[in-house]
Amino acid sequence: MSKKIEEPLEHSSRNCWDVYSSAADRKAVSDRADKYMDFLTRCKTERETVDYVLAAAAKAGFETKLTDKTTAYVHAQRGKTVLLARRGKKPLAEGFRLVGAHCDSPRIDLKQHPLYEDTDMALFKTHYYGGIRKHQWMARPLALHGVVVKKDGRVVPVRVGEDVSDPVLTITDLLPHLAYKQAEQKLADAFEAEKLNALAGHEPVGKTDDKDRVKRHVLELLSARYGVTEADLFSAELQLVPAGPARSLGLDGSMIGAYGHDDRSCVFSALEALLTTEQPEHTQLVLFWDKEEIGSEGATGAQSLFFEYALQDILDAWEPKTKLSHVFARGMAISADVNAAMDPDYADVYEKLNAAYMGQGACFNKFTGHRGKSGANDAHPEYVAFLRRILDEAGVPWHMAELGKVDIGGGGTVAKFLAVYGMDIIDMGPAVLSMHSPFEVLSKVDIHATVEALRAFLKS
Ligand code: MN
Ligand code: MN
């Protein structure tokens, strides 16, 4: 007699709308989407995101003080990266469950000498951050977010353009009537970074013969509103981001159009997953980094030693006899990041059998990288099998994909920077359309499924 077959022979993926089809599930999907849209509307920079996380953590009883009695610990660095830890029933010597995501998104930064006047207009010089398609950021309302730090150390927050009564800024674009020559150019040549200057003023002050009267007006406004001078802009981080709230998308309102799904969808999902689980078996760690979009560099990126030092502190407080290297080697991690959803208009750059799809839940990316998997963390199949079991037992839909056709492009995430410690790690996140654009698209059912997937993982 042949062995009993417990699993179906063929794999077929599930549409999450069918999985979450009951009235109660649909309400949960909708409620969670509302909460997520509110989060996205509030959090458009890494600092705003970390502030949101710190407030939510404080409300949930996470403490900034670490002792041998602490069970929920939160530790932030420079307001741009943050670690949350909830102590498990098992010691750290038996490993941890870590979810990491990044809280920065592509955007347009102001240069340090930003303000100038030309043709009776005041403009800001900019320097883009992360991988953008420049033309997508032109001729649309932009809000100005960030901080200016005074010489005495005072940090002045700036947030203009979100309230409908606020003015917005914009980067102008060429009219089609005079774009005949530009239209013949290669896309990479047609839009120059040095032409991404943001319009910031037009009304002059002073007398007719004065020089740079429009620039002067903008400086007077900055001084009156923020107490900021032109020199203070040297010690500023000011970012132009798409203005306005996250929106329900589609006539059925089934999707969310917004700035920053990459990767705030995973920040939200990880936070939501952590704050809705009770005391876990293994210690839960949730980590949000900055600078992923420019290579995870700097003191607040995933290549920094922030996590290593923070985990050593936790170990010193909770299990001083345990070696850090042992904890790392037994750790299990998910690098939570979005994947590119199959776009029917650009199906030619995707390989349909191994593409990520809207509506199929969080998507595992066993490896990222370019060409011959260059620069990839390639997750071990033993770990993939473990995760399949966890999610299937929890009844959470998920799928498996890679980014586009081989040799067409590529991408990377923070996974490889954690893999160096010997821990198990894999990329996972929802599928997004128009990734890195000012208006990324994500399915409401996918954000729900992602939270459920991360919950199942953190509880394991
Ligand atoms: Mn990302
Ligand atoms: Mn990205």
Question: How far is residue 358 from each of residues 17, 19, 260, 366, measured CA to CA in Å?
Answer: 11, 14, 17, 18
Residue 342 · residue 355 · CB < 8 Å: yes
CA of 263 to the centre of ligand 2 (A): 7
Look up residue 416 and give its two tokens. 């490889």
Residue type, 389: R
Ligand that lies nearest to the alpha carbon of residue 105, given by its number in the listed order: 2
> Which ligand has an atom closest to residue 130 CA?
2
Q: Give the number of the ligand closest to the Cα of residue 131.
A: 2
Distance 429 CA to ligand 1 centre (A): 9
What distance in angstroms lies between residue 289's CA and the mean position of ligand 2's atoms?
A: 12
- The CATH T-level fold of domain 16-105+259-459 is Aminopeptidase (3.40.630)
Neighbours of 295 (CB within 10 A): 12
10-residue mean pLDDT series, the chain (460 residues):
71 93 98 98 98 98 97 97 97 97 98 98 98 97 98 97 97 97 94 97 96 98 97 98 98 98 98 92 97 94 95 97 96 97 96 96 90 87 96 96 87 88 96 98 98 97
Residue 228: CB partners within 8 Å, gap ≥ 6? 148, 150, 156, 222, 236
Q: How far is the CA of 353 from the centre of ligand 2 (A)?
A: 23
Distance of alpha carbon 177 from alpha carbon 374, whole angstroms: 44
Residue 183's Cα: distance from chain center in Å? 33
Predicted confidence at residue 4, as pLDDT, reads 61
Distance 450 CA to ligand 1 centre (A): 15
Q: How far is the CA of 78 from the centre of ligand 2 (A)?
A: 21
Quickly name the fold that domain 107-242 has: Aminopeptidase i, Domain 2 (2.30.250)
Ligand nearest to the CA of 101: 1
User: How far, in Å, from the CA of 129 to the mean position of ligand 1?
Assistant: 13
Distance 53 CA to ligand 1 centre (A): 18
ω into 427 cis (within 30 of 0): no
CA of 262 to the centre of ligand 2 (A): 5
Q: How many angstroms does the Cα of residue 263 sit away from the middle of ligand 1? A: 5
Please give the distance, rounded to the nearest whole angstrom, from the Cα atom of residue 163 to the centre of ligand 1. 27
- Residue 183 alpha carbon to ligand 2 centre in Å: 28
Q: Are the CB atoms for 178 and 171 separated by under 8 Å?
A: no
Rounded distance between C-alpha atoms, residue 121 and residue 138, angstroms: 17
Taking the centre of ligand 1 as the mean of its atom positions, its distance from the CA of residue 197, in whole angstroms, is 26
Q: What is the pLDDT of residue 148?
A: 98
Residues counted in the chain: 460
Cα 224 to ligand 2 centre (Å): 36
- Centre of ligand 1 to C-alpha 443, Å, is 17
The pLDDT, as a whole number, for residue 3 is 57
**Ligand found nearest the CA of 413:** 1
In this predicted structure, what is the pLDDT of residue 409? 83
Please give the distance, rounded to the nearest whole angstrom, from the Cα atom of residue 436 to the centre of ligand 1: 9
For ligand 2, the distance from its centroid to the CA atom of residue 336, given in whole angstroms, is 12
125 CA → ligand 2 middle, Å = 23
The beta-strand segments (E) located in 346-439 are 362-365, 369-370, 398-401, 410-411, 424-429, 431-433
Q: Enter the pTM of the model.
A: 0.96
From the CA of 83, how far away is ligand 2's center (Å)? 20
- How far is residue 70's CA from residue 86's CA, in Å, rounded to a whole number? 9
- Ligand nearest the Cα atom of residue 289: 1
Domains 16-105+259-459 and 107-242 share a fold: no
The burial of 420, by beta-carbon neighbours within 10 Å (0-12 exposed, 13-18 middle, 19 or more buried), is given as exposed
Give domain limits for the chain: 16-105+259-459, 107-242
- Ligand 1 centre to CA of 355 (Å) is 17
CA of 131 to the centre of ligand 1 (A): 11
Burial class (CB in 10 A: 0-12, 13-18, 19+), 84: buried
